[in-house]
Amino acid sequence: VGGEQISSIGRGLCVLLGISLEDTQRELEHMVRKILNLRVFEDESGKHWSKSVMDKQYEVLCVSQFTLQCILKGNKPDYHMAMPTEQAECFYNNFLEQLRKAYKPELIKDGKFGAYMQVHIQNDGPVTIELESPAATVDPKQLTKLEKQQQRKEKTRTKVPSESSRERNTPRNKDDPSASSGAEGDVSSEREP
C-alpha cells in the first residue's frame, strides 16, 4: 500500500473476498468454515487434496476485493451488487474476527480495506478455487430492477438458426472445402480487462 509492504504470508491461502449486498452472518460463517477446512494441500505421504490450511498450520492472507461482485454490462463493469463501503468494511472486519476465533489469530493476515493495493500472489500449481456461499431462496419482491430486466431478457431471448433449414438438410460432400464439420467457427466470449 503506497509503496510499503503491510502484510505477507508464507505457505497458505490467499483469500480474495467479494462481499455482496445480500451477504449475511450466515454466509460469513459458511465461508469461514469452508476456507479453513478446504482440503487443497497434500499430506505427509504426498497425497494431494488431503489437508486443510488448519491441518498444516499454514497462514491465511485476506484481501477485500469488491470487483469480484462485478456484473458486465457489455464491456463495462457494474458493481451494484457489491455491498456499500461502510457496510462492507464492518462485514469484512467481522469476517477476519471470525477467522481468527476459529483458527490461530496470528496466522490470519489482511491487507488494508479500501486501499489501492499491489497484491503479489505466487500460486502453487497454480490452484485457484472459487467458493460461494449457498444460494439463499430469493423472494421475487427483493430482486433489483436490473435483475428483473436481466430475467426478462433471458426469458425472451430466442435462438437464431446458424444456417437455413435448406442448408441444414442438404447433405455435405466431405471433399467440399466449404463443408464444415462444425468443429471450427466463431467462438467469442467476454473477457475481463
Q: How confident is the model at residue 126 (pLDDT cuts 50, 70, 90)?
A: confident
pLDDT score at 53: 98
Rounded average pLDDT over 44-48: 96
Q: Which three cell numbers stand for residue 153?
A: 431478457
Q: What is the pLDDT of residue 183?
A: 37
Predicted TM-score (pTM) of the model is 0.69
Specify the CATH number of the domain 10-130.
3.50.80.10
Give kind and range of the element (H or E) at residue 68: none
Could you report the per-residue pLDDT of 136-178, keeping only the tens digit for each? 544 555 556 556 655 565 555 444 444 433 444 444 444 444 4
Residue-range domain boundaries for the chain: 10-130
Catalytic residue among 67, 85, 144, 170: 67
Looking at residue 150, its pLDDT comes to 58
155 is written with which cell numbers? 426469458
Give the Å distances, CA to CA, from 5 to 76, 108, 110, 117.
31, 16, 11, 10
Nearest in space to 79 (alpha carbons), one of 88, 71, 89:
71
Confidence bin at 76 (pLDDT 50/70/90):
very high
Residues 84-94: what's their mean pLDDT? Answer: 97
158: annotated active-site residue: no
Q: What is the residue type of 125?
A: G
The residues that bridge with 76 in the sheet, in sequence order, are 73
User: Mean of the pLDDT values across residues 123-147?
Assistant: 72
Q: Does the pLDDT value for residue 94 go beyond 60? A: yes
pLDDT at 134: 85
User: Cβ(124)–Cβ(58) under 8 Å?
Assistant: no
According to DSSP, the residues that pair with 41 across neighbouring strands are: 51
Residue 22: pLDDT band (50, 70, 90) is very high
Quote the pLDDT of residue 25: 95
pLDDT tens digits, one per residue of 59-71: 999 999 999 999 9
